[in-house]
Amino acid sequence: MENRSFYNEILTEHNMRPDYKHDIENPDYELEGVNPSCGDDIILKLKVDDNGIITDGAFTGDGCAISQASADIMLGIIIGKSKDEALKYGDIFFRMIKGEATEDEIDSLEEASVLRDISHMPARVKAHPGGDVRG
């Protein structure tokens, strides 16, 4: 453990040098996620064209490495996809971190599959999207 990264390198890379951490103007969708255990706040913005395709997306705000990398990797997956496909990936992601997704589903998440390990960290799963860890 000592000289290796604590998390998978893909995760720490996305945390340190995110591709999609910036603001975008005139988004079509804006969503705020608050983590009650640390007061973190992530704002996700998306642009969707007339055909329902996500043409651009970005996030701002603070969070732990897992939340930052999740947002960054998932944006990479869903940009260019339709809203329905994006929702499907989102659903697989949630099931993956709860340890409920199949291997094929996890493979379909490409890089995001590195986050599967957080399903072994129950406190993390709870503290993350939709979680309810109190302080």
Partner 1 sequence: MPDYKKDFPLLVKEPTIYLDNAATSQKPECVLEAEKGFYVNHNANPLRGFYPLSMEATDIYENARKKVQQFINAKSEREIIFTRNTTESINLVAYSYGLSNIKKGDEIVVSIMEHHSNMLPWQMVARNTGAELKYLECEADGSVSEETIEKVITDKTKLVACGHVSNVLGRVNPIDKIIKRAHDYGAVVVIDAAQSAPHMGIDVSAMDADFLAFSGHKMFGPMGIGVLYGKEKLLNAMPPFLTGGEMIESVTREGAKYAELPHKFEAGTVNAAGAAGLAAAIDFIEKIGFDVMEEREAALTAMAMEGLKAIPHVKILGSENPSEHTGIITFVIDDVHPHDVSAILEADGIDVRAGHHCAQPLLAHLGVRSATRASIMYYNTEEEIKALIDSAATVRKRMGYGE
Taking residues 86 to 125 in sequence order and writing x for each that binds partner 1 by CB under 8 A, - otherwise, the string is -----------------------------------x--x-
Q: Which is nearer to partner 1, 4 or 51 (CB)?
A: 4
Contact 29, 48 (CB under 8 A): yes
CB atoms within 10 A of CB 82: 15
Mark the segment that binds partner 1 (CB under 8 A) among 9-17, 18-26, 90-98, 100-108. Answer: 9-17
Question: Shortest CA distance to 85 belongs to which of 54, 112, 125?
Answer: 54
Residue 54 corresponds to which amino acid? I
Nearest distance from C-beta of residue 112 to partner 1, angstroms: 18
Mark the segment that binds partner 1 (CB under 8 A) among 11-19, 43-51, 87-95, 107-115. Answer: 11-19
Q: Should residue 32 be labelled a site residue for partner 1 when binding is judged by CB under 8 A? A: no
Residue 44 corresponds to which amino acid? L
Question: Shortest CA distance to 18 belongs to which of 82, 78, 80, 62?
Answer: 62
Nearest distance from C-beta of residue 13 to partner 1, angstroms: 7
- 54, 58, 63, 89: which one contacts partner 1 (CB under 8 A)? 63
Residue 37 corresponds to which amino acid? S
Question: Shortest CA distance to 111 belongs to which of 95, 89, 132, 131?
Answer: 89
Nearest distance from C-beta of residue 88 to partner 1, angstroms: 28
CA distance from start to end of the chain = 29
Q: With contacts defined by CB under 8 A, how many residues of the chain interact with partner 1? A: 27
